[in-house]
Structures are given as C-alpha cells and as structure tokens.
Amino acid sequence: MNGFSENHLFNTGRVGSIEVICGSMFSGKTEELIRRMKRAQFAKQTVEIFKPALDTRFSEENIVSHDQNAIPCTSVEHSGNILLLSGSIDVVGIDEAQFFDDGLPQICNQLAEQGIRVIVAGLDMDYKGIPFGPMPSLCSIADDVTKVHAICVECGRLAGYSHRLVSNEKLVFLGEKEEYQPLCRICFNGHNI
C-alpha cells in the first residue's frame, strides 16, 4: 500500500483510531475497506460496516466475499445511529461516507475515543471535482489517510476524478457504473471546460 503503515496504530492495546480510504469511483476503496475488515475479523475482532440508508444499490445485509466469512453490514439513516449500534464492535467500517451528514466526523472522533478502530471509505470528490460532503473533515481528523486511484479510461494515467457521462445535476445520483468513468486531471479538465 504505497508505504502506508498501520503498525503504529496497534502497539498499545485497544487504542482507537480513524483511517480514511478515499479516491474516485473504480479505485478499489470498498475492496480496501473489506480487506482491512476481514484481516481484523481473522484476528477474532468484531467488525461491522455501516452504510448510508440512501445507498440503495446495496440492500443486502452482509457484504459477502469469496470466502466463507461475510462482514455484517447495516444501513443507517443518520451518522448518530452508528454510535448507538457500535457498542460491542472492535472495528467499525463506514462505506460511502460521502453521503453521510456533516455529523459523521464528530461521531468518528467519539468512536475512536471509546477505543474503536474506525475505517472510513468514500469518494473524496463529487463528479464536478468538488470535495464531497464530510470527506474533507474526515481526512483532516484521521490518523491515516490512504488515497487510492483508478486508471484513466482515456489515457491510462492514474485517475482521481469520477466523470459523469449522463447530464444530471443531482449530487446524490446513484447511477449504475456505466454512468461514470474514472479520468485523470488532464482528461477530466478536457471534459469540463
């Protein structure tokens, strides 16, 4: 992971922390979140992922992966619900964090102060290239930030932008993946002049 080291987070027992995994669409954010959650699960730590309830693309209760262990996943309406539901959990994952309310950073701080490891994944920029929802604040308060990249579909450079292929001004637009494509800065700017 590009020199990223999590080791220092775990040297002194149950110390809470906040990790952020951010990037564009198709950058593997959720995959990286699940990798970290499953590694914790293997070490007998209790894990659960929370998603904003509006993300209707994922209606399943569990995120199922290729092996036997599914990660419990709960949709919540408000960030405050995560605090209420996290009492017995060692590692709290939060996916699609960009769609949560502005209270999420404070909730993450409270969870970390309770000794919980919090791993947040989300889009850092919206389709216009503007910092998305609570993600900038989450990056600021995080102990570690990992930015993952997609590959630009037009030139093959690393991509950080999620270009929307259909005209729809709605910010929360949960289209199918065919409606977005990852672009690098140069190609993104070429589409937005």
Q: Which amino acid does the sequence have at 123?
A: L
Count of CB atoms situated within 10 Å of the CB of 57 = 11
Count of CB atoms situated within 10 Å of the CB of 70 = 14
**127 vs 181: CA distance, rounded Å:** 10
Q: Which of 89, 121, 123, 184 forms a contact with Zn ion (CB under 5 A)?
A: 184
Check residue 65 and report its DSSP letter.
-
**Given the residues 6, 60, 96, 169, the one annotated as active site:** 96
Least spacing, CB of residue 163 vs Zn ion, in Å: 10
Does 150 contact Zn ion by CB under 5 A?
A: no
Does 154 contact Zn ion by CB under 5 A?
A: yes
Residue with tokens 């060692």: 90
Q: Which DSSP string corresponds to 81-102?
A: HHHHH-TT-SEEEE-SGGGS-T
Q: Which of 43, 53, 84, 155 forms a contact with Zn ion (CB under 5 A)?
A: 155
Q: Which amino acid does the sequence have at 134?
A: P
Compare residues 85 and 153 and give the one whose CB is closer to Zn ion. 153
Least spacing, CB of residue 182 vs Zn ion, in Å: 9
**Which residue, 32, 142, 143, is CA-closest to 95?**
32
Least spacing, CB of residue 125 vs Zn ion, in Å: 15
Q: Which of 22, 120, 142, 187 forms a contact with Zn ion (CB under 5 A)?
A: 187
Site string for Zn ion, 110-149 (x = CB under 5 A): ----------------------------------------
Q: Which of 117, 152, 180, 182 forms a contact with Zn ion (CB under 5 A)?
A: 152
**46 vs 115: CA distance, rounded Å:** 13
Within residues 8-27, the interface with Zn ion by CB under 5 A covers none
Does 108 contact Zn ion by CB under 5 A?
A: no
Is 96 tagged catalytic? yes
**Which residue, 18, 28, 175, 145, is CA-closest to 94?**
18
Catalytic residues: 96
Binding site for Zn ion (CB under 5 A): 152, 154-155, 157, 184, 187
